[in-house]
Amino acid sequence: MNQTIDLLKAHRSVRKFKKRTVEEEKVNAIIEAAQWSATSSNYQAYTIIRVNDPEKRLKIARLAGGQKWIEECPLFLIFCANLKRSKDCWEDIDPAYLSNTEMFITATVDTALAAQKAFVAAQSLGLGGVYIGGIRNDLQTVCELLNIPKLVYPVFGMCLGYPAESPDQKPRLPREVILKEDRYHEDGDDKLLEKYNRAMKDYYRERTGGEKEDTWGRHCGNSMMAKTREYLGNFLKARGIGVK
Ligand SMILES: Cc1cc2nc3c(=O)[nH]c(=O)nc-3n(C[C@H](O)[C@H](O)[C@H](O)COP(=O)(O)O)c2cc1C
């Protein structure tokens, strides 16, 4: 249809990178693109931390469950939701309201929108990458390592660089399952989900040389149960985020 749609539809996560530095000009373009995201009430409630220090990278890679690409990628960014700037700069506010769930959602959504723009901008420049939710295994350590204060929390990381792999695209849910007209319903979803489960099973089998045969439901179930991260509620509360 057009180059933007083609780019968006060519998405895949990349976890292997060439040993080629990302030019500063491109890094700047990626960050500027992120800044032009829509943002709730123009709050811009996020901060991006570029992590260059190899020791910090190593520690983050370990706490994220041994994700080597955090150490190896040329560009590693951590996207943080930031309500501290709000406390410091916004006028005539009762800072207690910054701890509302509403503000937690607002800052997290702002952060994710900026990140997605950064990601797409990077892809448009010939780069690839992967989001890193694995940092949420231990946000206390991430905050200490990166000097992140209260009212700020890291939502996820992002590895970027020139791709040294081009994995097959992971099939997505059928459009009819995720798009409804005028009202929510699940009519016909069963059959479509069954088909999707089979497609994912084939995908995993092919991608792993027969080692993994999970359906989508099995994969997601295992994934969720492996990372419940139950400490997060109390952790965020202690940071003054999303507690009401
Ligand atoms: C918020 C978020 C966190 C993610 N965290 C990780 C991660 O820690 N490690 C990883 O290898 N992939 C991670 N991913 C990548 C997803 O596993 C991947 O996007 C998904 O399986 C779909 O595959 P695709 O991106 O190749 O289409 C994350 C993706 C998102 C959006």
Pocket lined around ligand 1, Cβ cut-off 6 Å: 11-13, 15, 64, 67, 130-134, 156, 170
Residue-range domain boundaries for the chain: 3-167
Among protein residues, the one whose CA lies closest to atom 10 of ligand 1: 132
Of ligand 1's listed atoms, the one at least distance from the Cα of 172 is 27
**Ligand 1 centroid – CA 134 distance (Å):** 9
Whole-number Å distance between alpha carbons of 96 and 82? 15
Among protein residues, the one whose CA lies closest to atom 31 of ligand 1: 131
CA nearest 28: which of 20, 17, 39, 36? Answer: 36
Tens digit of pLDDT for each residue in 215-225? 999 999 999 99
Among protein residues, the one whose CA lies closest to atom 1 of ligand 1: 133
What is the overall mean pLDDT for the chain?
A: 98
Global pTM value: 0.98
- Our measurement of the distance from residue 239's CA atom to the centroid of its chain's CA atoms, rounded to an integer in Å, reads 21
DSSP per-residue letters across 98-144: GGSHHHHHHHHHHHHHHHHHHHHHHHHTT-EEEEEGGGGG-HHHHHH
- The confidence score (pLDDT) of residue 85 equals 98
156 pLDDT above the threshold of 80: yes
47 pLDDT above the threshold of 90: yes
> Within 10 A of 43 (CB to CB), how many other CB atoms are there?
17
Residue 142 burial (C-beta neighbours within 10 Å; 0-12, 13-18, 19+)? buried
Q: Residues near 70 by Cβ (< 8 Å), separated by ≥ 6? A: 57, 60, 61, 64, 76, 132, 157, 159
Whole-number Å distance between alpha carbons of 125 and 120? 9
The answer to whether 243 touches 96, Cβ cutoff 8 Å, is no
Provide the percentage of residues in the chain whose pLDDT is more than 70. Answer: 100
**Ligand 1 centroid – CA 96 distance (Å):** 34
**Ligand 1 centroid – CA 97 distance (Å):** 32
- The confidence score (pLDDT) of residue 167 equals 95
Q: What's the token pair of residue 83?
A: 């309500």
Tens digit of pLDDT for each residue in 79-114? 999 999 999 999 999 999 999 999 999 999 999 999
Tens digit of pLDDT for each residue in 20-35? 999 999 999 999 999 9
243 pLDDT above the threshold of 90: no
Whole-number Å distance between alpha carbons of 19 and 161? 8
Class assignment of domain 3-167? alpha beta
Whole-number Å distance between alpha carbons of 54 and 145? 12
Mean pLDDT throughout 158-179? 98
**Ligand 1 centroid – CA 87 distance (Å):** 32
**Ligand 1 centroid – CA 190 distance (Å):** 25
Among protein residues, the one whose CA lies closest to atom 28 of ligand 1: 131
Pocket test for ligand 1, best of 68, 130, 168, 229 (most atoms within 8 A of CB): 130
**Ligand 1 centroid – CA 14 distance (Å):** 9
- The confidence score (pLDDT) of residue 52 equals 98
148 pLDDT above the threshold of 80: yes
- The confidence score (pLDDT) of residue 244 equals 76
Among protein residues, the one whose CA lies closest to atom 3 of ligand 1: 133
CA nearest 73: which of 186, 152, 163, 141? Answer: 163
Of ligand 1's listed atoms, the one at least distance from the Cα of 69 is 11
